[in-house]
């Protein structure tokens, strides 16, 4: 990439994209940031808070529109909805720039059956390594997928934690998000992404093979130090078991089992909807009218807050509960003994995040997680080309990433326990 000042295109200025853009604006290696969104107001609102940014609109369904903006850029950060991933990847190759996104493609693509859709998604990630990887490498560029908080930050944490083991049996990425406001606000990130995951099958990697499990199934219970009680975590569609399953032998000391488990307010809200069939993507006829239940529910879910005044109003109305944890839990062997490794991540709560940065806690953690991968790009830290997922950083960059996170008050505490 060289030592020249960097030009970055950020596609999508929602909770994630806007946070990354604002951080890049403060980096001395960045010369210019293009904030592009289908919503002209959103792009302008973000750009006006920055010194190096310009705002523009983009039609992400039109690849040529993306290519036109990306040409001459060193990095394209894709913070658009998942269904645009393939279009943006192709545009990045055509424009000959590096690429970064927050999650790897759409769960469903154009497949109606959710189970077949999620199986296709798992296969498509391998195809991204195998097909897009060589194409980016031919350009001398790097694409990195899944770079938010989870997947993203938690993948790097798992890489750090596995160092404590000689051999690894199982990896659990365990997240509990218990942030509840007085205002009806089930999700502090994209509701379409959240509910899409809730509607889907979960993926696990068990005994060296991928398994597809009903969402909300296979509960586990955990009591970590962050909370005063034991809570339940359930199966949920997420990238981490897919990445780590594919990379188990190369990067995770032969792990045979990889899981993502999730709990909290968003799960509690969505579970009865799922049981009632209201997260179905299949068209139904009700009283002579054709509807898709998922679309009806989505239409009644408020978008994630992203403007300062909106977040302030929510805080002024009151926060009912703010609790949770982000833990990578690994089981394996060390010096001939069975051990458990726990890597606990601490970040800012919603009040601290807003007071200091005018962000929600979700925007802060996910945004900084994403920014830290962008930071590696603009500081020329990557020595890889091709396509990698966020668990595939070099050992040196794992350390640099986590050290850089401390500058944003995001810390990792790794503990080892005998079992």
Q: For 234-248, how does the pLDDT look when each residue is reduced to its tens digit (9 = 90+)?
A: 999 999 999 999 999
**CA-to-CA distance for 378 and 288, rounded, in angstroms?**
56
Domains (ranges, CATH) in the chain? 157-357+410-418 (3.30.360.10)
Please report which confidence band the pLDDT of residue 105 belongs to, taking 50, 70 and 90 as the band edges. low
**CA-to-CA distance for 342 and 344, rounded, in angstroms?**
6
Residues with Cβ within 8 Å of residue 40, at least 6 apart in sequence = 55, 57
Could you give the residue ranges of the DSSP H alpha helices within 153-307? Answer: 153-162, 191-199, 240-246, 248-251, 265-275, 293-299
The pLDDT of residue 192? 87
The pLDDT of residue 159? 98
pLDDT tens readout for residues 185-242: 999 988 988 998 898 899 999 999 999 999 999 999 999 999 999 999 999 999 999 9
**CA-to-CA distance for 106 and 166, rounded, in angstroms?**
35
| Nearest C-alpha neighbor of 160 from the set 251, 256, 246 | 251
The pLDDT of residue 69? 96
Cis check: omega of the bond before 151, within 30 degrees of 0: yes
Higher pLDDT, 291 or 116: 291
* Helix-strand-coil split of the chain, %, nearest 5: 40, 25, 35
C-beta neighbour count of 415 within 10 angstroms: 12
């Amino acid at each position: 990439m060289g030592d020249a000042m960097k030009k970055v295109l950020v596609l999508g200025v929602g909770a994630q994209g806007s946070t990354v853009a604002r951080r890049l604006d403060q980096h001395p290696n960045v010369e210019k940031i293009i904030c592009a969104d289908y919503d002209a107001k959103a792009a302008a609102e973000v750009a006006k808070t920055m010194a190096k940014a310009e705002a523009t609109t983009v039609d992400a369904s039109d690849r040529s529109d993306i290519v036109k903006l990306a040409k001459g850029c060193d990095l394209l950060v894709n913070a658009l909805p998942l269904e645009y991933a393939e279009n943006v990847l192709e545009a990045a190759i055509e424009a000959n720039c590096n690429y970064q996104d927050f999650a790897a493609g759409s769960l469903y693509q154009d497949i109606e059956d959710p189970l077949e859709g999620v199986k296709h998604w798992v296969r498509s990630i391998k195809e991204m390594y195998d097909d897009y990887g060589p194409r980016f490498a031919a350009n001398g560029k790097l694409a990195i997928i899944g770079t938010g908080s989870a997947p993203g930050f938690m993948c790097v944490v798992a890489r750090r934690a596995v160092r404590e083991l000689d051999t690894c049996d199982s990896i659990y990425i365990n997240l509990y998000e218990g942030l509840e406001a007085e205002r009806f606000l089930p999700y502090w990130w994209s509701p379409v992404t959240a509910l899409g995951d809730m509607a889907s099958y979960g993926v696990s990697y068990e005994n060296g093979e991928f398994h597809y499990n009903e969402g909300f199934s296979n509960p586990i219970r955990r009591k970590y130090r962050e909370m005063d009680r034991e809570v339940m975590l359930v199966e949920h569609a997420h990238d981490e078991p897919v990445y780590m399953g594919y990379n188990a032998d190369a990067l995770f000391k032969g792990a045979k089992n990889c899981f993502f488990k999730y709990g909290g307010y968003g799960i509690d809200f969505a579970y009865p909807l799922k049981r009632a069939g209201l997260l179905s993507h299949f068209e139904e006829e009700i009283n002579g009218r054709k509807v898709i239940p998922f679309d009806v529910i989505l239409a009644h879910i408020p978008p994630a807050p992203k403007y300062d005044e909106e977040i302030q109003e929510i805080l002024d109305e009151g926060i009912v509960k703010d609790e949770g944890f982000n833990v990578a839990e690994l089981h394996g062997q060390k010096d001939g003994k069975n051990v458990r490794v726990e890597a606990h991540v601490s970040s800012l709560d919603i009040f601290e995040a807003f007071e200091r940065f005018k962000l929600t806690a979700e925007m802060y953690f996910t945004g900084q997680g994403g920014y830290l991968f962008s930071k590696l790009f603009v500081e020329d830290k990557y020595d890889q080309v091709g396509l990698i997922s966020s668990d595939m950083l070099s050992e040196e960059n794992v350390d640099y990433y986590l050290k850089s996170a401390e500058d944003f008050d995001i810390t990792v505490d790794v503990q080892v326990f005998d079992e």
